[in-house]
Amino acid sequence: MRGIEEDEDLPHLWQKPAYPVLLGALEKLKVEPPVWGAKESRSEILKQQAAVQTAHERKEALVFISSIIKSGLSWLGDDEEREVLWEEASKRMSERCGRTAMGEIIRQWTFENDEYGSFSLTIREPPLTGDSLGLKTWGSSYALARLLHEFASGPLAHLVRSAQKTEEVLELGSGTGLLGLAAACIWKKTVYLTDLLEIMPNLEHNASLNRALVEERGGKVEAAPLTWGGSEEDVDPRFRSGKRFELIIVADPLYDDDHPSLLASAIDEQLALNTDARVLVMVPQRDEITKGLCETLRNELGRQISPLICQHENIVAGEDDWGDGNDDDAQQVGFWWGILGRNS
């Protein structure tokens, strides 16, 4: 957030400032979205941003923004100019109401590793509306993505690095696509990013936004709709054959009581039957509800005709900003990850 310089006081509406003056002032008040850093916690970034402006300046900004929203701006003769100013003022106000209340934002996610090199993914997050939780990037996606290089040299090495390695990876419930895009970059695979139909426009946009970077690093990405429990007619032709993928990844997929059984069925439908096939899952342990959903998922996977049994698991610490949008403080959360395979 930029501070308001002493020689650049916000204009007063009673002075009937011109359109360029008002628009310029609103642009200077833009709040950039925070990102969890690889070396710096998100809470520290927020503190730094808050320190840029004094409490007096923040109050001045809110008064100015709200005055534009309430004003008819009658001295401006152009209706389009008035609409632009009202829209910009509304954006500035929403940016100060927490991430879930923000309008469209663009975030840069950085990955640093001695072996795989450094790169940054650009992710667009549209406004959060209704139940479209897949339009936001949640903490587990970044937490799991930053572990992908360790899995490549550890429990997934036989699929990522060996002579018999798989060339295609399926991500279920991709959301904004951060995890799948990172997997394509780090593992140098073709990764299919999938989610519900209403999530696809933004997911396809993020795939296109990062495609050149992914291909430069030796990977590929494709985005396609895939509804868990959908009828065969609703399934993209690429996924109708089933039992095709030897490696499936999924992060933070459980929000309702019916999700564990739906996800377990989707994994079973798409995961290859050979004993080398694996699914990598991460579920945040936010509270007793999410812990219960995680345990239910494990039980459901174990009940499939060809059961999926957890072979490696751990809990890692990370940051998560799940909440009602009234508080931007990130919370420390334990993220459970598990690697499951067919029961031999």
Number of domains in the chain: 2
Domain assignment present for residue 18? The answer is yes
pLDDT band with cut points at 50, 70 and 90 for residue 338: very high
Do residues 56 and 169 both lie within one domain? no
Distance CA 36, CA 170 (A): 25
Rounded mean pLDDT, 66-77: 89
Do residues 92 and 224 both lie within one domain? no
| Helices marked H in 254-306 | 259-270, 288-302
Do residues 189 and 336 both lie within one domain? yes
Q: Which of 37, 70, 96 is the last residue of a domain?
A: 96
Do residues 179 and 89 both lie within one domain? no
This prediction's pTM: 0.73
- CB atoms near residue 8 (< 10 Å): 12
Question: Long-range contacts: 108-112, Cβ < 8 Å, 24+?
Answer: 108/35, 109/35, 109/36, 109/137, 109/142, 109/145, 109/178, 109/182, 110/35, 110/37, 110/38, 111/38, 111/145, 111/146, 111/182, 111/185, 111/186, 112/38, 112/39
Lowest mean pLDDT among 183-187, 257-261, 330-334: 330-334
Rounded mean pLDDT, 100-126: 81
Do residues 53 and 194 both lie within one domain? no
- CB atoms near residue 287 (< 10 Å): 10
Do residues 138 and 92 both lie within one domain? no
Rounded mean pLDDT, 259-274: 95
Q: What is the CATH number of the domain that holds 290?
A: 3.40.50.150
pLDDT at 2: 42
Q: Measure the CA dihedral 225/228/233/238, to 10°.
A: 50
Q: Which of 46, 65, 96 is the last residue of a domain?
A: 96
Q: Which domain holds residue 36?
A: 13-96
Between 59 and 52, name the one with better pLDDT.
Answer: 59
The encoded tokens of residue 299 equal 């039980």
Between 16 and 128, name the one with better pLDDT.
Answer: 16
Domain assignment present for residue 322? The answer is yes
Between 327 and 314, name the one with better pLDDT.
Answer: 314
pLDDT tens figures, 269-294:
999 999 999 999 999 998 898 899 99
* Residue 276 phi, psi dihedral angles, 5° rounding: -85, -15
For the chain, what percent of residues have pLDDT higher than 70? 80
Rounded mean pLDDT, 228-232: 75
DSSP 3-state of 250: strand
Domain assignment present for residue 207? The answer is yes
* Residue 112 phi, psi dihedral angles, 5° rounding: -130, 130
pLDDT band with cut points at 50, 70 and 90 for residue 49: very low
Do residues 68 and 149 both lie within one domain? no
Q: Angle between the 19-28 and 55-70 helix axes, to the nearest 10 degrees? A: 140
Rounded mean pLDDT, 130-158: 86
Q: Which of 53, 73, 96 is the last residue of a domain?
A: 96
Domain assignment present for residue 6? The answer is no
pLDDT band with cut points at 50, 70 and 90 for residue 327: very low
Domain assignment present for residue 4? The answer is no
Distance CA 320, CA 227 (A): 26
Between 61 and 266, name the one with better pLDDT.
Answer: 266
Do residues 91 and 171 both lie within one domain? no
